[in-house]
Structure 1
Amino acid sequence: MTPPPPSTGQPGPATRRTVLRALAALPASALALGAAPGLLTTATAAAPARGYATRYTVVPFLDSSDAGVSVYQSDDATDFRLIKAAAYTPPANRVRDASVLKHTDGRYYLTYTTHTWQDTSTTIGFARSTDLVNWTFLYDYTVPIMNLSRAWAPEWFVDGDGSVNVLVSCSTTADEWTFTPYRLKAADSALTSWSAPVALSGIGANHIDTFVVRAGSTYHAFTKNETTKYIEYATAAALTGPYTFRGTGDWAGWGGTREGPALVQLDNGAWRIFFDGYGDGSYYYSDSYDTFATWSAPAKLPAVSGTVRHFTVLKETVTGGPTLPTGVTRSFRSANYTTRYWQEQSALVNLPVVGSASTTAEKQAATFTIVAGLADSGGCSFRNAAGNYLRHYDFRARFDAHDGTSTFAADATFVLRAGASSGSVRLESYNYPGRYLRHYDYQLRVDAADGTDLFRQDSSFAAVTAWA
């Protein structure tokens, strides 16, 4: 499977971006702002089972304030919606670069940076929640590194043996802007006691925002080179290294002045990286379908780009997901144009008005059989009376005969997401995540979500009693 192509006031508190600008006059050797983003174990790659849904949660601080963090959630890792603003405010100091974990006790834990960039910052903070919305402060932990100046952006990582770790970037008073990533390992299940810090061998100083994911037996690290300003890539056989760099410079095509990489595996098996384009004030994502060798062109994260700062992603499978019955015939009505339905017209799919006065042929052309997804049985595919399948081609929806290829199967598979109105569903492209079946000019297309309510409505359809 190949990666998708690209989709055709008053100043607030200082952010990492303003830090870089403030220090731009200093020599590169004096700079190393940042943090060590967290680590995630390999996620299960499959569409959620019927009646279940994927939920992605991020808990960022905002570009306008680091006094607290807000909670955003998404079912597709693209369209993030605000769940609660200012969900957590610590009793003292600040909260930046928060990482979220679901622990074995069923509760959620935050770890975060406790001070702004101007201040000495030798502690990392911890908070806990039962519902991701209401948080309780636990404690601030002093990272035991001699002559520590700053401990930034702690990130959770649960290893394959179940051990809970925090990665944190630290600098000393001898060079307060040159950071090195360290591992802290939990010494108790309550997450209150930690092992001595161990530096990640092979990555070295002057690398910041080191984020690691584990795929199989290999640890994959993504880290910002603070000299070149590129996010680079290294691998190791152990969490603490030694790491060997595999991609340096602009190896992935993301460009420079990027930081804060965070990765998550999507339902179709692709890996998605998020990063802060601090040079232009935007937040980006990019996908890899070949285990980090190549990446799609970076795209701005809709709705929240330019608003949120530095997050990692918690992926969960939750109950209450949308369902469609398989093996039955249905017609598909637009959720916001309730007289219009999918209808096959010369192989393409449009949304004309269909009603009781429509001809028998028109009603038959608006009737389809729902089947299990050709590429993933957790998704859905749609078949017409002739046995052809709904698929996207040049981002238009059409019906074609199955040619037996895996590409066709992926093109014809759609993942169920919650619709914008009761009883409706949204259908995300299986192999172009973030793109949905939606009507535009009364044509059914596969377009990239833009984060607007109108797009959500245009991409929502109700499966109703078949016209024929």
Structure 2
Amino acid sequence: MTTPDTASRPPQPSRRSLLRALAALPAAGLALGELPGLLGTATAAAPARGYATRYTIVPFLNSDDGTVNVYESDDATDFRLLKASAYTPPSNRIRDASVFKHTDGYYYVTYTTHTWQDVSTTIGFARSADRVNWSFLYDYTVPVAGLSRAWAPEWFVDSDGSVDIIVSCSLTSDEWIFTPYLLKATNSALTAWSSPTALTGIGPNHIDTFVVRTGSTYHAFTKNETTKYIEYATASALTGPYTIRRTGDWAGWGGTREGPALIQLDNGGWRIFFDGYGDGSYYCSDSYDTFATWSTPKKLPGISGTARHFTVIKETVSGGTAPATGVTRSFRSGNYTTRYWQEQSALLNLPVVSASSSAAEKQASTFTVVAGLADANGCSFRDAAGNYLRHYDFRGRFDADDGTATFAKDATFIARTGTSSGSLRFESYNYPGYYLRHYNYQLRMDIADGTALFRQDSSFVPVTAWA
């Protein structure tokens, strides 16, 4: 086995869970960039040296739908609070906020303006120059005849640069049956919009429709409001017709899930986030075969139970901290400053190393940093015998390169910023969210749990080599 954890691989009531008690319909018949929609067009790779990946979310709160927090992460797993109550609209509410960065350099959010109980014919807009300080722009009345509710607007930017919003709308004739509509910006200021066009093929009784494009195919993830499962559909045009490809619990995410949002990770895989409103948690799941199969969903640490329904911006920003390649280094623990990485019987441990240590111990604590075997923007670590550090059954260990793609991925790490000055954290390339961390003075691959202790235990300082 080569996985860090083979077993892990293969609340507040939602307004939608309440409203569905008011109506019942048959289920459906058939079982990078910074911009949503462009994610599939760029070659995913770890950020080049001198640059870093940054993910941003702007969720409303489980305890308060009148404001949003801003969180950021460098790995799309461990989101940390950037600013609490960063934006509160001048009136009404803010729910289901979708965020993107426009070509004018501003960040924009669009959002649901009322609670589920109220008629809600508008969607709101705000913008920010820095993701932290937001200004209200306007509320826009969605021009759908007989509109009762306009919910969960989601940004989509197509390959031609056109900016769109997909919004879930219901009519007064049946206020709890939602259909996705497309609005297209008709000016660069995002203040004028085309007439709404229904996305054909997805059909009524679907909400929270989120679309990404790969090549010439549009992929829609949408919640079926009867079954409570997130379904999957494809089309060759943004407005459809879509064909629903997967229904029920096809991905293993379970029911009572909503608000799907996707982003492409540094290793090329796709991550879906969704609100598990039925149990008060927030989840993510990954796919490496263009959405055919998905990993077992895991709760996002830190924000589960607090954050509700969000989308994600991924950006490449300056300031990366990847170690230089082609040099020898030793790696000191960020929080146990007398302890260093050391190879012991092919395993990586964290003993005390000092000037009085033997020459053999110093050599075993010295490693050459090389370009990542699976991604040259990542890094790999080689011992004096030419073996590479890789993860195997939770443990860091050294093995000879067998030339396989699996080994290359197991031996590649993405450098993230650590907690102490000059320290780095090393994330698994093929299991995003898993980090090298010390536990009982052994180096293991564990999934980030959102705690300060984990971040400290997974932080290491590259220093002058002992040998």
Structure 1 length-normalised TM = 0.95
Asked if 1:41 is matched to 2:38, the reply is yes
Q: 1:35 — aligned with what?
A: none
2 CA distance for matches of 1:41 and 1:124? 23
1 CA distance for matches of 2:255 and 2:175? 23
User: SS at 2:362's partner residue?
Assistant: helix
CA drift of 1:412 comes to 0.2
CA drift of 1:27 comes to 3.9
The structure 2 residue matched to 1:28, chosen from 20, 24, 27, is 24
Give CA deviations for 1:330-367 in whole Å, capped at 9, x if unaligned. Answer: 00000000000000000001000000111000000000
- 8 Å CA contact 2:36–2:100 kept in 1: the answer is no
In structure 2, stretches of 5+ residues that fail to align are 29-34
Give CA deviations for 1:56-106 in whole Å, capped at 9, x if unaligned. Answer: 000000000011111000000000000000001111111111111111111
In structure 1, stretches of 5+ residues that fail to align are 33-37
- Please give the residue correspondences for 1:272-311 in structure 2 after superposition, counting only pairs within 5 Å: 272-311=271-310
Instruction: Give aligned-pair identity as a percent.
Output: 77
- 8 Å CA contact 1:288–1:296 kept in 2: the answer is yes
- Please give the residue correspondences for 1:238-257 in structure 2 after superposition, counting only pairs within 5 Å: 238-257=237-256
Letter in 2 for 1:268: N
2 CA distance for matches of 1:195 and 1:109? 18
Q: 2:206 — aligned with what?
A: 207
- 8 Å CA contact 1:69–1:88 kept in 2: the answer is yes
- Please give the residue correspondences for 1:370-381 in structure 2 after superposition, counting only pairs within 5 Å: 370-381=369-380
Q: Which runs of 4+ in 1 moved over 6 A?
A: 1-4
- Please give the residue correspondences for 1:277-356 in structure 2 after superposition, counting only pairs within 5 Å: 277-356=276-355
Q: Structure 1 258/390 Cα, relative in aligned 2: closer, same or farther at 3 Å?
A: same
- Please give the residue correspondences for 1:27-426 in structure 2 after superposition, counting only pairs within 5 Å: 27-29=23-25, 39-43=36-40, 44=42, 45-426=44-425
Give CA deviations for 1:270-304 in whole Å, capped at 9, x if unaligned. Answer: 00000111111111100001010000001001110
CA drift of 1:21 comes to 4.6
CA drift of 1:51 comes to 1.1
- 8 Å CA contact 2:330–2:366 kept in 1: the answer is yes
- 8 Å CA contact 2:53–2:74 kept in 1: the answer is yes
Q: Structure 1 20/156 Cα, relative in aligned 2: closer, same or farther at 3 Å?
A: closer
- 8 Å CA contact 2:27–2:227 kept in 1: the answer is no
- 8 Å CA contact 1:30–1:178 kept in 2: the answer is no
- 8 Å CA contact 2:436–2:445 kept in 1: the answer is yes
CA drift of 1:210 comes to 0.8
User: SS at 1:22's partner residue?
Assistant: helix
Q: 2:427 — aligned with what?
A: 428
2 CA distance for matches of 1:268 and 1:325? 20
CA drift of 1:420 comes to 0.7
CA drift of 1:24 comes to 5.6
Letter in 1 for 2:38: T
CA drift of 1:118 comes to 1.0
CA drift of 1:19 comes to 2.3
Letter in 1 for 2:100: L
Q: Structure 1 84/6 Cα, relative in aligned 2: closer, same or farther at 3 Å?
A: farther
- 8 Å CA contact 1:4–1:296 kept in 2: the answer is no
Letter in 2 for 1:66: D
1 CA distance for matches of 2:334 and 2:359? 23
How many residue pairs get aligned? The number is 457
1 CA distance for matches of 2:235 and 2:57? 27
Structure 2 length-normalised TM = 0.95
2 CA distance for matches of 1:137 and 1:330? 50
